[in-house]
Structures are given as structure tokens and as C-alpha cells.
Amino acid sequence: MNAQPVYLDYAATTPVDPRVAEVMARHLTLDGTFANPASRSHMAGWLAEQAVESARRRVSDLIGADPREIVWTSGATEADNLALIGYMRANRARGTHLITSAIEHKAVLDSATALEREGFEVTRLTPRSDGSIDPRHLADALREDTVLVSLMAVNNELGSINDLAALGAICAEHGVAFHVDAAQAAGRVSLDVGTLPIDLLSLSAHKAYGPKGIGALFVRRGVRLEALIHGGGHERGMRSGTLATHQIVGMGEAISLIEQQCDSDMRHVRALSERFCHGLNALDGVWINAAQGERVPHILNIGCEGVDGESLLMALRGLAVSTGSACNSASVDPSYVLTGIGVPRDRALASIRFSFGRFTTENDIDRALNELGQALGSLRQRESA
Ligand SMILES: *Cc1c(COP(=O)(O)O)cnc(C)c1O
């Protein structure tokens, strides 16, 4: 009966909404809208272009941007690379200093390290213990030669939320561009670039019930970037390559659904989160990391006294959950995000992340709590034996 593990790893990736899969399937085969959107010589090409531009409008609508400010990429990783490396290279004459934080996604952190090898300077802010960046801390780190600040909207391991309005205001006041990695934030927090002083913003479809392999970078009008991928000059020269029509319409549909459903999606995960936390309270020696600040309800990073996270994952055979970010699951180092907010190494190693979403049921939550309780019981018994 319960052969399928309960999927509680929505922060790593979400399943594609069946409505999205259906739209994508209509953009692949001969009877569908499969043509190259850059083909100008036939109707099939124009129809594909129309589909791409309609999706672009749906993505720009979510964040209150103009469709011409959206650049398609292969995902948030590429969008982060283009934002950081593309912006720093294009604006080198104005300054060479970048500010980010110690708990960003590797797509940002590794881009920053690559920039250091090119002679740029990087400051990595230490977050508060709740995972958020103190705006005063950012203000103190600004220098004469700072040209870009890159901070995430929602942390993928903790669920913590940054105050984008306050952080962006400091950047704007000092004439510094502000990049936001919003891969985890679409439909969860406001990303209205009409009111928020954000210049660059990365999105990913597969964290929002769309397909993997597609994302977008919002580039505010007037912001200059140096392209990283050269070719036919697609996307106004910022990102060459034949547009992946089926991926793009999938992202457009997913983002549109997220916008329509955000209230009911949020109510759903909030109720599940309360149910889960209520159940956790009944277990001994379990805590929630970074619980005290502003958080999204569907990502819960929990620590379990006296157990090792890797062993706990192995014991939770009926659950698909993870320790920290998926990109680090090959190593046994504690999560740099947890140590980055000051969680001691042993407590970080005893932590795992649960994340849920649109298709998670109350029954899934109950099964997770049940398994967790049993696993903790047997692991601790083994430990004390
Ligand atoms: C998933 C994720 C990324 C990477 O997105 P891809 O589309 O998988 O490249 C970047 N930043 C954050 C915060 C993420 O959660």
C-alpha cells in the first residue's frame, strides 16, 4: 500500500503540475507548436514565438515587470551566474566590489569565487541566527567601489525570508545594483519589482511546479550585463541559444498557476506546517532551526538530539527528505548554511530538511511524523545500547 515514499523534498524540486505537463506536451510534436521561435519565414515559427512571448508576459506579470525585462535561462543557476558575472564584468569601470552572504545558494557563492579569480573583491555577510541579513550590517559593508549586492529572497535550507524592501532601499540609496535569487520565493513572498528596488532577479521553474532546465533573469531596463553565452544574439544579446519552447510555455503556465493559486497554496501548506509542528512538539529532543524569524511555512529544517542526520535519513526509508541542500548530499560536512547561522557542528550534523507543497496531504504529514518518531526511537536506543 505505502510502497511509494512520501515526497517531502519540495525545496529540492517540485513535481510538475499535470496542467503544466499537458501544456508542454502540446509544444513538442509535429501536430503541436514545436517550431523554432526564431524562424521568421513561416507560420509555425510565428506561432512558437507567440507562445514564448505569452509565457514571457506571464512571468513578467508575477513580478510586475515589463516582458522585455525577462531573459530566459536554463534555470536559476544560470540566471545567478549571468547576474553576478555578467553585471560585474560589464560594470568593472565603476567598481570591483560585490557583497553577498555566507548562506547563499552555491550558484551565487561559486560565481562570487569565480569573480575573485578574475580580480574582483567579495564580501560575504554573516546572517543573523534566524537566517536573515541585518540591513544595518549591509549598510556597514558598502564601500566606494561596491557595484552589486546579491542576497536571496527565501533561503532554500531554512525557509528564512529576507526583508527585500529594507535591503533594496539601502542599495538604491547608495546607487548600488541589487540582485535577488528568488528561486524559492515565487508565489510565497511578494516580488513586485514595481515597488521593490530590485535590479536583477533570478527565477526557476522547477521550484514552482514547472519543469527543470528553465528559468529566467529579470533585468531592469537600463541595467547592463555582459553575456556569458554567445551565439545568435537571442534575448537581446544577453543569452544566445534556440529558445526551448516547451520548457518556456511550461514555466509560463506554472508561474501563472502559482500566481492564481498562491492564496490557496499558502493556506494549504500553512495548515500542513501547523500539523507537522504540532506533531514534532510531541517528540523528545527535536527542534526547528532558524525558527524565530520570518519564514515560509513549507520549509522546516529540524534537528534531532543524539542522532546523526545521515543515519536518520537512512532510517527514514519511507520518506524522501534531505540533509541541507541536495548539492551537498555527497559530502558529510555539516551544512554551510546551518554553520553559517551559528548552529554548532554537532547540531548541524543532526539536522534534516522537510519541505512540502501543493500535492502534500495530511496523510503524508502523519506518515512522516510516525516514521520520524519510530526512527528516532530506534536510533537513540541503538546509541545508548
Ligand atoms: C534551486 C535553487 C537554485 C538553482 O536553480 P536551478 O533552476 O536548479 O538551477 C538557485 N538558488 C536557489 C535559492 C535555489 O533554491
Q: Which residue among 150, 164, 203, 204 is best mutated to probe the pocket of ligand 1, counting the most ligand atoms within 8 A of its Cβ?
A: 204
Q: Domain 6-14+262-384 carries which CATH code?
A: 3.90.1150.10
C-alpha cell at position 360: 502534500
Domains in the chain: boundaries: 6-14+262-384, 18-257
Q: What pLDDT, on a 0 to 100 scale, did the predictor assign at position 327?
A: 52
Distance between Cα 313 and ligand 1 center (Å): 22
Give CA separation, 258 vs 13, 185, 205, 264, 348, in Å: 15, 11, 11, 10, 32
pLDDT tens digits for 34-85? Answer: 999 999 999 999 999 999 999 999 999 999 999 999 999 999 999 999 999 9
Average pLDDT over every residue of 158-175: 98
CB of 74 sitting under 6 A from ligand 1: no
pLDDT tens digits for 252-284? Answer: 999 999 999 999 999 999 999 999 999 999 999
Do 222 and 207 touch, CB atoms closer than 8 A?
Answer: no
Q: Domain 18-257 carries which CATH code?
A: 3.40.640.10
Q: What pLDDT, on a 0 to 100 scale, did the predictor assign at position 275?
A: 98
Bin 234: left if φ > 0, else alpha if -120 < ψ < 50, else beta.
Answer: beta
- Amino acid (1-letter code) at residue 95: G
Pinpoint the alpha helices (H) of 26-119.
43-63, 76-81, 87-90, 106-117
Do 135 and 127 touch, CB atoms closer than 8 A?
Answer: no
pLDDT tens digits for 332-346? Answer: 789 999 999 999 999
Name residue, grid cell 504529514. Answer: 365
Q: Do domains 6-14+262-384 and 18-257 have the same CATH topology?
A: no
- Looking at ligand 1, which atom is closest to the CA of residue 78? 9
Residue with CA at minimum distance from ligand 1 atom 14: 183
